[in-house]
Every structure is written in C-alpha cells, then in structure tokens.
Chains A and B, each alone.
Chain A
Amino acid sequence: DVKVTQSSRYLVKRTGEKVFLECVQDMDHENMFWYRQDPGLGLRLIYFSYDVKMKEKGDIPEGYSVSREKKERFSLILESASTNQTSMYLCATTPGGKGYTFGSGTRLTVV
C-alpha cells in the first residue's frame, strides 16, 4: 500500500513565523497535492505538482508556496503565518486513475 507521511500531526506557530509542512510518499507517484480542510468548507486545493520542480497553483494559493526538489517529497511553506491559516493540512498523492491516498494530516494552529 502507498504510504503518505506528513512530518507533524500537530503544530503551534506564532504569527509571522515561516512554517514548513513536509510530505513524503513511498510509491514513486508523479502527482502530489496539498489541501487544507476547514469545517463547512471541505477540502480546498492549495498547490499541486505533476513532477519534480514543477508546481501549479490550486484554488487558494495566496500566502503559500511549495517546493518539490525530489519526487517523493512535496513541501508546503507558509512564508509568514497568519491566524487565518489555522487549519488541517492534508497531503495527497495519486498515480492517476485510482483516486488519492492521503496522509494523516497536520493540524496547524497559528497564535
């Protein structure tokens, strides 16, 4: 089975800090995605990547950036964390044609 590992389950950061969320997958999939999940809003796509060093904006990229230097690793960066970025962050991967496999999520609180 595909394993998607997110480095932290819970994070508490201060406003203005630079925050790195890491995601690693072990199945050599090209496609990787970052979503945030908020009550009543569901999952919203932040960024995605179809290949190494390639990135595309999703529906809500403002305030975020990403890095994909290696195929298995996709990082989400909050350049200057703000309280409205308090959320559950989910990383996902897919080989195409079979739906996503998600990580366990990182619950980020910005104070």
Chain B
Amino acid sequence: QKEVEQDPGPLSVPEGAIVSLNCTYSNSAFQYFMWYRQYSRKGPELLMYTYSSGNKEDGRFTAQVDKSSKYISLFIRDSQPSDSATYLCAMTTDSWGKFQFGAGTQVVVTP
C-alpha cells in the first residue's frame, strides 16, 4: 500500500465551479503538507504549503489538513480553464526531509 493515495481522475468541471481534490495518507508522522500544480510537459510548481492541521487560504485556493483522519484537501474556487492541470499532493515528516508524493489528479476545466 502506498503511503500517499490520490485519485488520478480525470476530474472534469465546468468553468466557475469549485474543484475539490484530496489525498489520504498512512504515516501519522507527516507534518508538512503541500500541493503542487503541474502543466503538461512542465515541472511541478508549489501552490500551497501548510504545517500540521488547519486551513490555509491563498486567493482562490484553500488547503485543509485533518491529521486525525490523515486526510488533506485542496479547493479551487471559481475555476478557470487555465486551472486545467495535474495536481499533486506531497508531504514529509520534517521540513528538510524528502517528500512523499501522491500520483496526481488530472483536472479539466471546460469553458
């Protein structure tokens, strides 16, 4: 069983809808949680970075961490076609350590 599970999708939503993404994990020692966006044929770029449990908001993006359930989420409000990409979750036990990644969820936002 993988340490980090993520539904690969694709997840197709109409423009303006809320995109909801999530990952589950098995290692209770994970403390740092990240979401990356990856466009086709590009490297991943960091979207959100959170420590421990709670919510973090940045513009249209909200990241949630529920350590008791070992579950993290990313919400994208007012989705745009430019949000069409693969979204990867990642997590680690300490800020200097190596990260474990989910397989990525492909999101398609249709005009």
Give residues in A with beta carbon < 8 Å to B: 4, 31, 33, 35, 40-43, 45, 48, 50, 58, 90, 94, 96-105, 107
Enumerate the 7 nearest inter-chain pairs by beta-carbon distance, A residue then B residue, closest first: A102-B43, A42-B103, A97-B95, A43-B101, A96-B96, A99-B46, A42-B101
Q: How far is the CB of B56 from chain A (nearest CB, A)?
A: 13
Cβ 8 A contact of A101, one of B46, B88, B96: B46
A101 proximity list for chain B (CB < 8 A): 46
Residues from chain B with a CB closer than 8 A to the CB of A96 are: 95-96
Question: Looking at B4, B45, B90, B101, which has the most chain A CB atoms within 10 Å of its CB?
Answer: B101
Residues of A within 8 A of B96 (CB): 31, 50, 94, 96-97
B58, chain A: closest CB distance, angstroms: 13
Task: Give residues in B with beta carbon < 8 Å to A.
Answer: 4, 6, 8, 32, 34, 36, 41-46, 49, 88, 90, 95-96, 98-99, 101-104
Structural contact, B46 and A45, CB atoms closer than 8 A: no
A-B contacts at CB below 8 angstroms, number: 58
* Bound form: Cα–Cα A50–B101 in Å: 20
Contact of B98 among A40, A48, A98 (CB under 8 A): A48
Contacts of B46 in A (CB 8 A): 98-101
A–B Cβ pairs within 8 angstroms, 18 of them: A33-B98, A40-B8, A42-B88, A42-B102, A42-B103, A43-B44, A50-B96, A58-B98, A97-B95, A99-B32, A99-B99, A100-B36, A100-B44, A100-B99, A101-B46, A102-B44, A102-B45, A104-B43
Which chain B positions have C-beta within 8 A of A41? 103
Tell whether, in the assembled complex, residue B43 and residue A90 are in contact, meaning their CB atoms are under 8 Å apart: yes
Q: Give the docked Cα–Cα distance between A7 and B60 (Å).
A: 34
Q: In the complex the two chains form, what is the Cα distance from A58 to B97 in whole Å?
A: 11
In whole angstroms, what is the CA distance A31 to B97 when docked? 9
**Which residues does chain B contribute within 8 Å of A100, judged by CB atoms?**
34, 36, 44, 46, 90, 99
